[in-house]
Structure formats: structure tokens, C-alpha cells
Amino acid sequence: MPFMKIPNTLRSYVNGQGEVSVQGATAGAALQDMLAQFPAFRPHLCKQDGSLRSFVNLYLGRSNIRDLQGLDTPLNSDDILNLIPAIAGG
């Protein structure tokens, strides 16, 4: 079963967990499964149309899924997705 790693800054939305087991054959299905488990997380990650917000990056290995097949990127049962929000400062 794939799982998603959650950065420290967002763990409050997933009950403090550093990683969440997810189900799905694609990155999008895995994301939807995580959001079904933790619905309060949805507005922080997704636009109203369900697409990822521009500042949210989802990596499979070292590759941003946007550089692969987007939310249609296929997953294997042992894959690890890394959720990485962009951080701005000034």
C-alpha cells in the first residue's frame, strides 16, 4: 500500500502523523483517499475543482508529479508520495 509523507507544518491536519497510508492506483486516487480520511485538509491542498493548489507539490521519488503524468501518475504498492508545500518569505 502506498503512503504519503506529511511535512511537520501540515501534520496538524492529519492528527500529527508523519505519514499516512493511502490507497489508489494513481497519485490522484491516493490524494483523494487521504482527503477522504482527513477532509479538513482539502481546502489547504486543493482548489474547488479538485486540482492541486499551485503552491502544493506532490513528489514521487525525486520527481514532481506535474513533470510526470500529473494526478494520473501511476503508483506501485510500495511507492512513497511526498507532500511538499512551497514556502515563501520576505
24-52 tens-digit pLDDT: 999 999 999 999 999 999 998 888 887 88
Find the distance separating the first CA and the last CA of the chain, reported in whole Å. 39
Q: How many angstroms separate the CA atoms of 12 and 84, rounded?
A: 15
Within a 10 A sphere around the Cβ of 86, how many other Cβ atoms? Answer: 9
**Average pLDDT of 7-30?**
94
Check if the beta carbon of residue 2 is closer than 8 Å to that of residue 65. Answer: no
**Would you kindly state where each structural domain of the chain is located, as residue ranges?**
3-85
Q: What is the pLDDT of residue 52?
A: 84
Residue 90 pLDDT? 54
- Categorize the per-residue pLDDT at 89 as very low, low, confident or very high, splitting at 50, 70 and 90: low
CATH T-level fold of 3-85: Ubiquitin-like (UB roll) (3.10.20)
If we measure between CA atoms, which residue out of 88, 85, 90 comes closest to residue 55?
85
Average pLDDT, the chain: 91
Identify which has the larger pLDDT, 60 or 53.
Answer: 60
The reported pLDDT for the residue numbered 2 is 87
Mean of pLDDT values over 48-72: 91
Q: What is the DSSP letter of 37?
A: H
